[in-house]
């Protein structure tokens, strides 16, 4: 009997350890399942507005359902070719600044990226002190950048300023398959020592914070906010040349779940 009890205790311990490592456990602290219709939940999401960065060709609109809406159980971010406030294209960038800030934890996003030359959707994070210290002192964590001209890869990257005031980046973009073919799980895990990014069960980037200099360690122990956006490429940017014939395109997000 004692041996049987010992075996049962061992199996219970194994199952608990497996669940913790699997990442499906932990405390769910924030989520949007997009099980509603209409505009994105304003208690959870805000918007970037205008021509925001990199002289990208799209104008990010605010509270405009032609570019950001929830329908059929998904967040839909749509980029379109249309004249709008001096731009030739529109899209949307949703952010959690002022709504949800995170330091350490696990983010799971199930999403389907759009195919096409110039498609440039992203799941990423910026330091909440960006307006105060500016980029790259605030830090940037690119959980996923999908580049239409490199359609079989997932890009994971971090950007920061080191202890002597110089910009640094570290990243990888391995072959993962066909991200555009269906919904896939993009997972980001972050603790005091490292950050890892995974596509389904494929780890495509790991950054060892503990090996970085003290300034980088400070940056990546601070609070960040989440962004979901669909940018369009232009020559001279990572997104590269845009083929206008691909438009309209949609970036679909099934859910966002954040665990501590």
Task: List 230's β-bridge partners, or say none.
Answer: 121
Are the beta carbons of 223 and 127 closer than 8 angstroms? Answer: yes
Question: What would the pLDDT profile of 176-227 be if each residue is shown by its tens digit?
Answer: 999 999 999 999 999 999 999 999 989 999 999 999 999 999 999 999 999 9
Which of 2-11, 106-115, 144-153 has the lowest average pLDDT?
A: 2-11
- Residue with structure tokens 């269906």? 182
Question: What would the pLDDT profile of 59-77 be if each residue is shown by its tens digit?
Answer: 999 999 999 999 999 999 9
Q: Give percent of the chain above pLDDT 90.
A: 90
Phi, psi of 37, rounded to the nearest 5 degrees: -130, 150
Are the beta carbons of 206 and 195 closer than 8 angstroms? Answer: yes
pLDDT value of position 23: 45
Residue 15 CB: number of other CB atoms within 10 A?
Answer: 10
Question: DSSP character for 115?
Answer: P
Rounded Cα distance between 105 and 109, Å, is: 13
| Average of per-residue pLDDT across 66-95 | 98
3-class secondary-structure state, position 81: strand
Report how far apart, in Å, the C-alpha atoms of 200 and of each of 179, 229, 252 are: 10, 20, 16
Task: List 259's β-bridge partners, or say none.
Answer: 28, 106
Rounded Cα distance between 154 and 150, Å, is: 9
Are the beta carbons of 120 and 147 closer than 8 angstroms? Answer: yes
Would you name the residues annotated as active-site residues? 140, 145
pLDDT value of position 109: 98
pLDDT value of position 21: 40
What is the β-pairing status of strands 87-91 and 74-84?
Answer: antiparallel
Which runs of consecutive H residues, i.e. helices, occur in 204-253?
A: 214-219
pLDDT value of position 26: 81
Helices (H) and strands (E) in the chain, counts: 3, 17
3-class secondary-structure state, position 14: helix
Question: What would the pLDDT profile of 24-50 be if each residue is shown by its tens digit?
Answer: 458 999 999 999 999 999 999 999 999
| Average of per-residue pLDDT across 77-100 | 98
Rounded Cα distance between 224 and 130, Å, is: 9
* All structural domains of the chain with their residue ranges: 28-259
3-class secondary-structure state, position 118: coil
CA angle (69, 231, 151) in 5-degree steps: 105
pLDDT value of position 25: 55
Domain 28-259 is found in CATH 3.40.50.150: no
Question: DSSP character for 150?
Answer: G
């Amino acid at each position: 009997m004692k041996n049987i009890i010992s075996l049962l205790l061992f199996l219970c311990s194994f199952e608990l350890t497996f669940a913790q490592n699997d990442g499906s456990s932990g405390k769910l602290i924030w989520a949007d399942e997009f099980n509603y219709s209409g505009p994105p939940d304003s208690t959870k999401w805000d918007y970037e507005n205008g021509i925001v960065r990199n002289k990208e060709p799209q104008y990010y609109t605010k509270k405009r359902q032609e570019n950001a809406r929830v329908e059929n159980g998904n967040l839909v971010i749509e980029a379109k070719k249309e004249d709008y406030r001096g731009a030739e294209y529109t899209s949307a960038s949703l952010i959690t600044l002022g709504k949800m800030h995170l330091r350490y934890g696990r983010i799971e996003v199930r999403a389907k990226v759009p195919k096409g030359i110039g498609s440039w959707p992203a799941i990423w994070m910026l330091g909440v002190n960006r307006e105060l210290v500016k980029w790259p002192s605030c830090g940037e964590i690119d959980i996923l950048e999908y580049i239409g001209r490199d359609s079989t890869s997932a890009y994971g990257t971090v950007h920061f300023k080191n202890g002597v005031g110089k910009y640094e980046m570290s990243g990888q973009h391995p072959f993962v398959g066909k991200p555009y073919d269906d919904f896939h799980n993009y997972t980001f895990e972050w603790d005091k020592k490292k950050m890892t990014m995974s596509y389904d069960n494929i780890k495509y980037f790991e950054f060892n914070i503990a090996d970085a200099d003290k300034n980088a360690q400070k940056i990546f122990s601070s609070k960040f906010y989440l962004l979901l956006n669909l940018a369009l490429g232009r020559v001279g940017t990572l997104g590269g040349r845009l083929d206008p014939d691909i438009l309209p395109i949609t970036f679909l997000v099934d859910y966002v779940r954040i665990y501590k």
